[in-house]
Structure formats: structure tokens, C-alpha cells
Amino acid sequence: MELPKFLLGDNTDFPDAIFIVHTEYPRFIINLENDEVEWLEEFSQEDEKELASEAENLINAANEFYDREISRYED
């Protein structure tokens, strides 16, 4: 099965939260309500250094995905 790079999700147990799931490495879920990120990968110390520089780009891409999806609902 081919998955999109990002998925938009919500859950009635968290009524104010909007989740973006990044399905490619490094996989993560970001809660747009509070910008909390949950990484779904285990990282070595070497990986963590590389991740620190890439994380900002990935989170910005997740926010851009959300903005694009919402604009499509508004059209």
C-alpha cells in the first residue's frame, strides 16, 4: 500500500487537537494545538544530531500540508 507523506487526523477524546502524521522516515505525529511532536522512531546519538537540523523543515512541511488541506475545504 502506498501512503501519502502526511495524514490529517483528529480524535473525539482530544476535541481541540488536530494531528498531522508524517508517514516517512523519520515518522512522527505533531499536535497542531500545542506543537507537541511525538517521534515514532528510535534514534542514535548520531541520528539525533542530523534530526535536529531536519526537524524544523519537517514540521514546517507538516504545517504547510495542513494549510493546503484546509484551503481546499474552503474552496
pLDDT digits (tens, 9 = 90+) for 27-40: 999 999 999 999 99
**33 domain residue, yes or no:** yes
* 59-72 pLDDT per residue, tens: 999 999 999 999 99
**1 domain residue, yes or no:** no
**69 domain residue, yes or no:** yes
Mean pLDDT of the 10-28 span = 96
**17 domain residue, yes or no:** yes
Q: How far apart are CA 72 and CA 57, in angstroms?
A: 23
Number of folded domains that form the chain: 1
Q: How far apart are CA 50 and CA 60, in angstroms?
A: 16
Q: How many CB atoms lie within 10 A of CB 6?
A: 19
Which range marks the domain in which residue 64 is found?
Answer: 6-74
Question: Locate cell 481546499: which residue?
Answer: 72
Give residue 75's pLDDT band: very low, low, confident or very high (50, 70, 90): low
The percent of residues in the chain predicted with pLDDT above 70, rounded, is: 99
